Structure 1
Amino acid sequence: MTDPAPETGPRGTGPFDPPGVEWTHVSPRLVTARLLSTGITLAVPAVGVIVLLVLFPHWWQWLVLGLLALLGLWAAVLVPRQVRAIGYAERDDDLLIRQGIMFRTLVVVPYGRMQYVDVQAGPLARKLRIATVQLHTASASTDATIDGLEPAEAERLRDRLASRGEARLAGL
């Protein structure tokens, strides 16, 4: 029986870290946005359980509150790591987007396949001064989104990707 090949090699040699690629990371303010969103999502059922606890006290309500607290603690530990794992890199012919800790994803978007580029920012994102860049390609299944960019960087990236996409498309 032969030994399996090692799953991890030196930095810059794995499928999620191509050699010679300099990754740009997103703003750490994305952690705040995701934690606030998670906190609001967990607070809604917690308030409902607290109202039930005041009106009709029962032991299982404490169990549900404890579970919600554990979920909030888990999010507080996990979200910063998830945000640090998000990165993108512009190469000569394509854009690389990677994310994930346990389930890693690397999306490669050739500039010539881009149809248009969106920049989005909801009320919370605008308050935290972050934006999302979404790439639309010929493939409907491509998940090419970069969350948590500074607005100036999102604008620069949008303009650069749009011009590179037009240049590559014109060459076809």
Structure 2
Amino acid sequence: MTNSPELPDSTPTIADPAGAPSGPQGALDSGTFDRILEPRSPRRLPLGDGTWHQLARSYVWVRLISLALFLAVVLVAAFVLALLTRTAWPWIPGGVLSAGIVWAAAITPRQARAFGYQLRSDDLVFRRGILWQRMVAVPYGRMQLVDITHGPLDRAFGIAQLKLVTAAAATGVVIPGLTQDAAEHLRDTLIDVAEARRTGL
């Protein structure tokens, strides 16, 4: 794939012209998946040209552990309710919820590899989804806030979530499962470019 065009000299550089990250830019691809998984349908949303960056591999473990803890809570709650009521009905919703959690855990590895983001000359493009695909382009000049959050489990695995807030709520983007280095580097880069675009540099 060809790389996206360079930004003008007066704007902070987003992508390396050779297509491979170098220096601080390499933080975006350290510890991540190597390629985006696409749906097999010929009517899928095309990736297009440019360099796509992906989530950290450890994001899958964080999701699986979170789902396992949620499953444990559901099973314990169903067991306690069954004891208190001395009936089996709590196992019906508990079983439905458990089946949904197991299904979510089964598709998590493939789902994580469907996430991707691309830094173009004028905007950031974010894509996600296998069955329900979404692709959003966020112009740099429309960004109002770039926020990084991470919980205890995220910190244990060295990942973070980056949220982009724009004037239009529908175009807001949340990129989960970035390495902390990638999240910080991406935040600083986007803030610099957004400020440059708003001031007309």
> What SS class does the counterpart of residue 118 from structure 2 fall into?
strand
- Give percent identity, aligned residues only: 42
* Alignment-mate amino acid for residue 55 of structure 2: V
Structure 1 alignment gaps of length 5 or more? 1-6
Which of 122, 145, 150 in structure 2 is aligned with 1:121? Answer: 150
Matched-pair contact (CA < 8 Å) for 1:131–1:150 = yes
Task: Using the TM superposition, give the Cα deviation of residue 119 of structure 1 relative to its aligned residue in structure 2, in angstroms.
Answer: 1.3
Question: Which runs of 4 or more aligned residues in structure 1 lie more than 3 Å from their structure 2 counterparts after TM superposition?
Answer: 52-69
* Alignment-mate amino acid for residue 87 of structure 1: G
> What SS class does the counterpart of residue 141 from structure 1 fall into?
helix
Structure 2 alignment gaps of length 5 or more? 1-40
Cα–Cα, structure 1 residues 85 and 18, in superposed 2: closer, same or farther, change >3 Å?
A: closer
Which residues of 2 match residues 97-136 of structure 1 at below 5 A?
97-136=126-165
- Normalising by structure 2, we get a TM-score of 0.71
Task: Using the TM superposition, give the Cα deviation of residue 86 of structure 1 relative to its aligned residue in structure 2, in angstroms.
Answer: 0.6
Cα–Cα, structure 1 residues 137 and 52, in superposed 2: closer, same or farther, change >3 Å?
A: closer
Structure with the larger RCO, 1 or 2 (CA within 8 Å, 6+ apart) = 2
- Distance in 1 (CA, whole Å) between partners of 2:166 and 2:97 is 39
Matched, 1:83 2:117: no
Q: Which moved more, 1:53-62 or 1:152-161?
A: 53-62
Question: Could you list the per-position Cα deviations for residues 40-59 of structure 1 after superposition, in whole angstroms to 9, with x for gaps in the alignment?
Answer: 22322310222244555544
Question: Could you list the per-position Cα deviations for residues 125-156 of structure 1 after superposition, in whole angstroms to 9, with x for gaps in the alignment?
Answer: 11111011111212123231111000001111
Question: Could you list the per-position Cα deviations for residues 70-92 of structure 1 after superposition, in whole angstroms to 9, with x for gaps in the alignment?
Answer: 22321221111111111101011
Aligned CA RMSD, in angstroms, stands at 2.2
